A and B are shown apart, each in its own frame.
Chain A
Amino acid sequence: MNETLIGVARPRLDAPDKVTGATRFAADGHVHGLLHARPILSTEPHARIRRVDREAALSVPGVVAVLVATDLPLATSGSDRTAEPLAREEVVFSGQPVALVVAETEAAAEDGAEAVEVEYEALPAVVGLEAAMAPGAPLARLLEEAEGGGDLESIHAGVDEGEQEADEEQLSGNVVDTVNRRSGDVAAAFEASDAVVSGTFRTPWVYQAYIEPQVATAWLESSGTLVVSTSTQGSFVTRRELARAFDLPLERIRIVAEPLGGAFGGKFALIEPLVAGAALALRRPVRLVLTRRDDFQSTNPQSAQVTHLRVGARTDGTFTAIEARMLVDRGSNTGWGVEGITTQLVAGPYRWKAHDLRGYGVQTNRFTFGAYRAPGAPTAAFALETLLDELAGALGLDPIEMRLRNAVVEGDVGVSGNPFPTIGAVEVLERLRGHPLWHERGSLPPGEGVGMAAGYWPGGNEPAAAVCRVDADGTMTVVTSAADMSGVNTGFAVIAAAAFGLEPDKVRVVTADTATGPYAGASGGSKITYTVGKAVEGAARAARVKVLAAASQELEIAPDDLEVVDGVVRAIGAPDRSISVEEIAQKALRFGGRYEPIEGHAGSAQTAGAPSVAAHLAHVRVDRETGEVELLRHVIAQDVGRALNPALVEGQMRGGTTQGMGWALFEQLEHDESGHLLTSSFLDYAIPVADRVPEIDTLIVEVPAPDGPFGAKGIGEAPVVAAAPAIVNAVAAATGARMRELPLTPPRVWAALTGDAPRENP
């Protein structure tokens, strides 16, 4: 084992190919006889489909078929996106796929798509979240009872569901889930508080904005096996969803996870059932590449949320009670939502004497809700962390000091009812407090301000396995089935190198398909390094046992007296008595060889969570006359357990911060009052671009995760959680305006500064 390899900044293994354009993404592979598909998306937010006129399209040269739901060999009657890749009788959001034109060329498919006519009978559209909950509200879906959408929520985080109890409240049938977390006497705790603050916080639908739109290709092998090559975060979960959609045995489906061009939570088996259904129906290879416009309209962005929040504290800053009522817009997704996560995370990494946290999942005629980096966390942190800033102000306390007085440590029982595992909340806040920007905050020019906020992500778990194999040239191949997202493969390489005793550049990592690879969960929930990485560590150690056994015979030294350093097995204390790993591998991998191949296989089943805390400082300048907010500088401190590769860790910290900046300042998907999407291109939907992103200081805090590989933990989601509230708090510091709706567009900030009533969502 060579721990000195850990903590060294190295380039990503996939960087050269991605930078030079050599990477072959899911849309690039050549498939013989390939057909191209174009979806027909509903133009109505809620309607019955009266008729789909395919005649004109079928007469377009090159068009092979125009498929509707009944043409697909669907096995179930459910109404989630797997069970219903094309709307059957009722469309429930504008942008929902209604038909699929399949043609010999992309252009023919486009010409055909233009010729398809769909006749709708409009139904009342449910677009207002609060109105949708009221008893007697029109229903967002009339014709079919929803079935469970699988277990996608559990992919994301180690979150319990909270109590799902019948509430006394009268609610409409659009409320598909309620969660209530309650403990202690909330009323009495508020009564005993010296300061109580409250507010209603609104966040819009936001889009994952991955560079590569959703794409998948499906075909049948001669054996009848359905193969789907796709841009996905999870090959096994996709296989499971396809088996459910078409009632196929798992062994008849093979999923190939191609290099991802970005995902951020949005790529969990969404278009694959549609593409696979077309290939099964036509028995020819079919590819669907969504255009950006299709992707905006028909995929699964992060939902809008409304949070009513009240918190209290004593004069010394001790938190007393927290009460939340959190409304989550599910859109058409009745299968899963973030009520469980968001009601847990709204309490933050803090101790409370009493809490009453309620979540409501509400179906509406907007999109299909999906995951986006730390689903349910940024919305919760926006409400909590901006209100805590106000609370600190009311009590005259330093906001960091106040949080430190309440920050959880290992063993504190959270609102989930479970004790926190090792958690670096105190360490992160202390580190942030030491940054010079925090001390400069009182001496800034007019119109400028510094704000802070903190948040955490609990991390997820799922059993996983990995294989490490040494070849006759002394190099190692690591095989997993985890989609290579945010650099996890590069992390695996250094884990394997350190655990085995090899130079990292002699390790390559292969992402296997579901037919050949060891099991791994989807790349989401900040769990891959922690779970699959642990399996890689075990597999490399198992391979090391093999090489030591062989070397022991070659050198006639007991294995316990040997070490493996940089690809050489040598006697501890007598390094000249050695044999290279390559030489041993050559002796093993040949006819008549005497040693077992140098291969290891191992698994992991993590049970302890490994939460990551991240805290932010934002420095803004507000133009009081126009309402423009400029982020001048940003600092993030994050507990990453152990930075396996600091370059990648800092990349995640910067990327998360940048996305949080987008949510704070720019991003919102908007529908008009009747439920039609207004923002279906990057001309309407703004994301942070390079010239708007300031210098971001990254402070890596290392509180090792006891069960993680070399102490590492999942770090991808935590950095986005509290970036937005830090910016919002900075705006308050600069102007005194407490903004309670994201994003902080210039007109909204201007309205707050001039006392105009802010515009509410419809």
Chain B
Amino acid sequence: MIPAPVRYARAADVHDALVLLAEPDARPLAGGQSLLPVMKLRIVRPSLVVDISRLDLRGVHIHNGELHLGALTTWDDLLRVEELRRPALSAITECAAAIGDLQVRNRGTVGGSIVHADPASDIPAVLLALRAAVKLRSPNGDRVIPLANFLVGPFTTALGAQELVTGIVLPIPEQGSGSAYVSLEHPASGFAVAGAAVLVGPSEERVIALTGLTGTAFVLPEGVDPARALESTEIFGDRFASTAYRRRLAVVLVERALERAARRAEEDR
């Protein structure tokens, strides 16, 4: 459990990080909750680790009706900020509170989790339901792309070479909205066997996103019965949970998340 030899550099600012990341096998290190384990197993062996953990990319703020989450915002940060204490954003804190243990929540970051793109990760479903987009920066400049386009496949994203995720942005849902996240965790890893995130609006319009079922988290098509939509979804199975089980479980979790989100929306009116 000792990583292969690797060089280390601490980036002074985002520009510095991007310069360091010009090295082809360099990898940015934020909270270390995903990269370090795979480095210890020598599955990933970067030539250079660029420590971005002290960059000024941490924090939550609301601006022009949008919620901005800095890429280095930790799970524990999410549980402490006033900005998220509203029914419409409850799914975020509900998700963050159930991640790992206190040590993991103190280190793990939202940006790191999105970039890692584990197909069973919780937060992508939550952010998809909240119509989030990813803020990126590279030497070519800044771009913002919808999260759904950023997540390409298992452990695969649209992140370019020498590009960093700097944050997440999402529209604050209008008054009278509620969100919820419900999952069944694998008893060992704590990752989602299936997870359902839901945003219910004031006129009962809803966005449903799921994780743990396919290569990436995804949004169910609007206006279609969730059970029917899941019938035609190609869901993977493993030795712990079969495809049939996951499909049925997803329907149950969606129902529960809808019920909870609707109740929260009710509270917000």
Contact = CB atoms under 8 A, between A and B. Distances in A.
A110 B187 contact: no
B2 A110 contact: yes
B42 A666 contact: no
For chain B, the bracket of interface size reads 20 to 34
Contacts of A670: 239
Given A107-B2, A678-B239, A626 B249 contact: yes
B227 interface: no
Interface string A667-707: 00010000000100011111100000000000000000000
Interface in A714-749: 745-747
A745 B42 contact: no
B1 A291 contact: yes
A626 B184 contact: yes
B248 A111 contact: no
B236 interface: no
B42 A114 contact: yes
A683 B118 CA distance: 14
Interface in B233-258: 239-242, 244-245, 248-249, 252-253
A107 B4 CA distance: 8
B240 A682 contact: no
A747 B240 CA distance: 7
Contacts of B2: 106-107, 110
Contact of B1 (A293, A687, A756): A293
B189 interface: yes
B224 interface: no
A751 interface: yes
B248 A686 contact: no
Contact of A747 (B1, B245, B252): B245
B125 to A, nearest CB: 17
A111 B248 CA distance: 46
A293 B4 CA distance: 17
A206 to B, nearest CB: 13
B1 A686 contact: no
A471 interface: no
Most buried by B among A111, A685, A687, A747: A747
Contacts of A665: 187
A628 interface: yes
A625 interface: yes
Nearest to A628: B184
B184 A746 contact: yes
Most buried by B among A665, A678, A745: A745
Interface in A94-126: 106-107, 110-111, 114
Contacts of A625: 252
Contacts of A291: 1
Interface string A500-536: 0000000000000000000000000000000000000
Contact of B4 (A106, A111, A685): A111
A683 B189 contact: yes
A114 B4 CA distance: 9
B245 A751 contact: yes
A686 B245 contact: no
Contacts of B186: 686
A756 B243 CA distance: 13
Contacts of A745: 187, 240
A750 interface: yes
A756 B244 contact: yes
Contacts of A107: 2
Nearest to B238: A678
Interface in B179-202: 184, 186-189, 193
Nearest to B45: A114
B83 to A, nearest CB: 28
A685 B188 contact: yes
B239 to A, nearest CB: 6
B45 to A, nearest CB: 10
A687 B249 CA distance: 23
Contacts of A666: 187-188
Contacts of A106: 2
Interface in A248-305: 291-293
Nearest to A625: B252
A453 B244 CA distance: 33
A683 B190 CA distance: 8
Contact of B242 (A114, A292, A682, A747): A747
B176 to A, nearest CB: 29
Given A114-B42, A747-B240, A747-B245, A684 B1 contact: no
Contacts of A686: 186-188
A292 B1 CA distance: 9
Contacts of B248: 750
B73 to A, nearest CB: 25
B128 to A, nearest CB: 22
Most buried by A among B188, B189, B241, B252: B188
Interface in A487-508: none
B245 A750 contact: yes
Interface string B1-41: 11011000000000000000000000000000000000001
A627 to B, nearest CB: 8
Contacts of B193: 746
Interface in A607-629: 625-628
A106 B2 CA distance: 8
Contacts of A626: 184, 249, 252-253
Contacts of B4: 111, 114
Interface in B209-248: 239-242, 244-245, 248
Contacts of B252: 625-626
Interface string B73-98: 00000000000000000000000000
Interface string A625-646: 1111000000000000000000
A759 B238 CA distance: 12
Interface string B134-156: 00000000000000000000000
B245 to A, nearest CB: 4
Contacts of A684: 188-189
A107 B3 CA distance: 8
Contacts of B245: 627, 746-747, 750-751
B32 to A, nearest CB: 16
B211 to A, nearest CB: 16
Contacts of A678: 239
A627 B242 CA distance: 13
A107 B241 CA distance: 38
A628 B1 CA distance: 34
A683 B185 CA distance: 12
Nearest to B241: A747
A670 B238 CA distance: 12
Nearest to B189: A683
Contacts of B242: 747, 759
Interface in B96-141: none
Contacts of B239: 670, 678
B34 to A, nearest CB: 12
A135 B238 CA distance: 32
Contacts of B240: 745, 747
Nearest to A114: B42
Interface string A656-671: 0000000001100010
Contacts of A683: 188-189
Contacts of A114: 4, 42
Nearest to B40: A291
A385 to B, nearest CB: 23
A727 to B, nearest CB: 14
A682 B101 CA distance: 14
* Closest 5 A/B residue pairs (Cβ): A686-B187, A686-B188, A747-B245, A683-B189, A110-B2
Interface of B: 1-2, 4-5, 41-42, 184, 186-189, 193, 239-242, 244-245, 248-249, 252-253
5 contacts: A110-B1, A111-B5, A746-B193, A750-B245, A756-B244
Given A666-B188, A682-B188, A746-B193, 11 more contacts: A106-B2, A114-B4, A627-B245, A628-B184, A683-B188, A683-B189, A745-B240, A747-B241, A747-B245, A756-B244, A759-B242
